[in-house]
Chains A and B, each alone.
Chain A
Amino acid sequence: MARDAIPPGTLHLLILRTLARNGELHGFEIAESIERTSESVLVVEEGSLYPALQRMLVNGWVAAEWGTTGGNRRARYYQITRAGRKQLETEEQQYLRIVSAIARVLQAV
């Protein structure tokens, strides 16, 4: 099965979308969710999730709260904020615009 590293600059987008879809998740769940929904094509370098999450916390796109996992361990659960949804929308549109533009270039005869 081919596995691809995620394109640069899209990590925020992926995390935001994942959180928007699933509600509260901790870091490992986010990584798993991205991998699962991409049908194991996209591999997050798992560690890089964390600096990204911190940056998003700074910007106020996500909020974090400590909770307990099913295995009864303390974990930090992230949740998308209203600012995060707005950001998601902008980034998503921008991404789709770029991708379709690239696709048009590639498919031009």
Chain B
Amino acid sequence: MSVLSTLGRRLRALLRSDQLERGLDEEMRLHMDMRRDRLEAAGLSPYDAREAARRRFGNPLRIREESIDAWGWRWLEQLGQDVRFAARTLRKSPGFTATVVLTLALATGASTSIFSVVNGVLLRPLPFANPDRLVQIYGRNFASDVGRPAPDSVTGPVGTIELAQYAAQSTTFDGFAAYDLGTRHLDDPDGSERLTAVSADREFFSVLGVEPVAGRTFRPDDPVDVVVISGRLWQRRFNSDASVVGSKVTLDGRPVTIIGVMPERFQFPYAAASLMDGALPESRTDVWVPSPPLPPLPNNVPRRRARVTGRLKPGVSVDAGWAELRVIAQRVEDEIYAGNGLHVAVRVRPLAEEVIDPVRRSLWILLGAVGLVLAAACANVANLVVARMTVRAGEVVTRTALGAGTSRLVRQFVAEGLMLSLAGGVGGALLAMWGTNLLVTLGAAKIPRAHEVTLDWRVFTLLFVACVAMAAIFGVVGAYAASRAAGQLAKESGHATMGRTYGRIRDGLVVAEVSLAFILAVGAALVAREAARLQSEPSGIVTENVLTLHITPRAEAGDYYAIEQRVAALTGVRGAGLTQLVPLQNWGWNADFRIRGRAMASRALAGLRYVTPGYFQAMGIRVVRGREFTEYDDEAAPRVIVVNETLVRRYLPDEDPIGVDLDRGTIVGVIRDVRQAGLDRPAEPEIFYPQAQNVTMSPDIGMSLAVRTEGPPEALIGQIRRAVREVNPRLAIFNVKTMNDVIADSMWELNLYRWLITMFATLALVLAAIGLFGVMSYTVTARIREFAVRLALGSNPAGLGRLVLRRGAWLTALGLILGAFVTEQLLMAFGSLPIGGRPDLPIYLSVAALLLMLALAACLVPAFRVTSVNPVTALRQE
């Protein structure tokens, strides 16, 4: 209490320090005047009276200072002086200041950005109640004659029959939630909007343990015509109006009631992006609707399969839960599927693993890379500060001579360091905000949980405090170094150089910087090599002048055929066709198949694609045998399929595949392989159906149209849109992209890493160059007299220049050797990198050459200075 009020009084005094000083002056003047009057009245002459009054009062200046000191703000005033002084000094060497501030800002900003993403995505627990009890459950049904799949390969959805048994029999689970992805169209008078929809069990929200921000979530007795909307949709479409709960909206032409709004951060399932991207411009789920009831089918026929998340009971391990589900799955096989010989595989793993696994390694490696940059930046700043102190020995001597105490000297250096780190910290904070936002925006569709990432202020503060501590240490070390140098200077009245030790420290720092730059540059080269390799990879399709666009909602096959014909008939169009999965944009839809009349040695799996007859022509996919589809391959005609070369190679290697009967149709043609899942993934067996014969499995999300044109395809967008509308006015076009853009997007992840790693490597290279430049410049300055003497004695100037260059090259070479050694050690510790494989000799050599060139360039200026030393001036200066 009294401490606080004392502090309050002090602060008031601080704020009104002018008033305080003026008041004191007035008071003291009054005192002396009154004393003088009193003495005059006692008979002294006016002069004597004034002098006597002064004597009795004492030294007013000292008293004034003492009075002001009473308030305890002296240190602040001195700090102000130190800071002003530091600012002046730093302004005088803008090159040094800018380099240090920029280095600190870039290093702290970049590391904080990357760490914020790592923290938000990998480290923070999932935003659900007790997230460690949530698991993802995978399943697979397989026929008895193909062998049980390896546990890790079970990654598919779970059949509803098994799921019902898990829910009924399990004692280790609190509950299961099954869900599926799809789209819904929100109709209102202003037009229709396509939404990403998740149809989920009524238990979905309670299993996850999430609460709505308004209204409620599903109840067990909810009818199907209710919907829970996302926070984002709520803001965008309903202005965050709470009264929207309870109102009706039209989804796919049917009125449904909004029962609740989820918080903006809630996005589940996370994988919505990767499963449906391309077809969807946004990765976010907009609405959750209750799953429709199952169609009535015999109980032992597998029906719908769904993605399933489960909640374990408290204290139950993942393995225990898994073991129990395996037992139940066995029971399902024995009791329910007994008749049809189906087997059930099941797999359980922590939900967090399922969510973050795809990016875990890459993000850690990025964090490691940025850590190296941070280390290089620290080395560089240390280097610069130590170098600067050594040349300031003269200044220190002067200030010591003028009466500056050691503590004051140290304080001034610390103030300087503080200013530098503050400026760097502010720059870093701005950069971190920008960088984090950029990463989140770039990664929104691909990095799971990207929407949960926020700038991590704690990390930033930690980094910042580290910077400040570093500044303080360097300030103290610097002041110590400088005062020692000053002592030498004073004693010898000669030139001051730092001792051998300091030179060694600086050399060591430079070697470290070069090796860090080498490691990062090797990483960048690896990623670049990988990108180049992928780009030269044959995709199996023509990518020039091909436009892809998505047509929704789902329509009749007749509509698709009509659209194909109309678009193909447009002038400038060389081919048009529809597919449900554009290559390199989406994939999936794998299914078993059998060759009729043969026992299969192993499970045969193929991707299922539904296309219209013009599709192969539009994408420039070559038919290597047999024929394409025609419009006569319709519902009435016999089932026909086209397969790819990989399927033939794998399952029909020694025969003519044309005419072979599969349980999915008769093969009428073979096409060349197309990279469907990614340029880095080999083609998988594929089976193509004509869309007209695909009656049951037409994808909910509509189909994509591919159009190959003679000129730039963008010019035709308007006409294509009109053609689609003419066929069916209910259909809308989304996600218009050229095939080249689709390919660029498919390399998004690699490109992001390439971009970041290249940036980090460049930064490290620049830092190393600055470090070398600094060390060499300093060496030259310190030895200038020696060089002058040598020159005067007839040395060749060029030879002296080479001496400097040789030293720079020597330090660089040490750094390179160290860097290569550490790289090899890292590779041994971590195995191969997730992308890019192992570095080979050409990569090592080219990176080394690049660094050596850069190093020599950095040493050129100092070397040139040596050759242009004028011996007379140089010797006289000393």
Contacts and interface: CB of A to CB of B under 8 A. Distances in A.
B405 interface: no
A22 B34 CA distance: 19
Contacts of B13: 58
B67 A28 contact: no
Interface in A71-102: 73-76, 83
A47 B60 contact: yes
Given A46-B57, A47-B58, A58-B71, A28 B34 contact: yes
A57 interface: yes
Contacts of A69: 30
Interface residues of B, number: 31
B2 interface: yes
Contact of B2 (A27, A51, A60): A60
A45 interface: yes
B57 A47 contact: yes
Contacts of A45: 56, 58
Contacts, number: 73
Nearest to A49: B31
A50 B28 contact: yes
Interface in A13-69: 26-28, 31, 45-48, 50-51, 53-55, 57-60, 66, 69
Contacts of A73: 30, 33
B63 A48 contact: yes
Contacts of A55: 70
B63 A47 contact: yes
Nearest to A47: B58
B6 A58 contact: yes
Interface residues of A, number: 24
B66 to A, nearest CB: 4
Interface string B8-31: 011001000000000110111011
Given A47-B63, A51-B70, A27 B30 contact: yes
Nearest to A55: B70
Contacts of A58: 6, 9-10, 13, 70-72
Contacts of A51: 63, 66-67, 69-70
Chain B residues touching A, majority SS: helix
B59 interface: yes
Contacts of A74: 26, 30
B463 to A, nearest CB: 39
B5 interface: yes
Contacts of B2: 60, 83
B71 A46 contact: no
Interface string B595-633: 000000000000000000000000000000000000000
A71 B6 CA distance: 34
Nearest to B33: A73
B554 interface: no
Interface in B64-93: 64, 66-72
Contacts of A75: 27, 30
A47 B29 CA distance: 11
A78 to B, nearest CB: 10
Given A59-B6, A60-B6, A46 B56 contact: yes
In order of increasing CB-CB distance, the 5 nearest A-B pairs are: A47-B58, A54-B70, A51-B66, A47-B63, A54-B67
Interface of A: 26-28, 31, 45-48, 50-51, 53-55, 57-60, 66, 69, 73-76, 83
Interface of B: 2, 5-6, 9-10, 13, 23-24, 26-28, 30-31, 33-35, 56-60, 62-64, 66-72
Given A28-B34, A76-B26, 20 more contacts: A26-B27, A28-B30, A31-B31, A45-B56, A45-B58, A47-B57, A47-B58, A47-B62, A47-B63, A50-B27, A50-B28, A50-B63, A51-B66, A54-B24, A57-B70, A58-B10, A60-B2, A60-B5, A73-B30, A76-B27
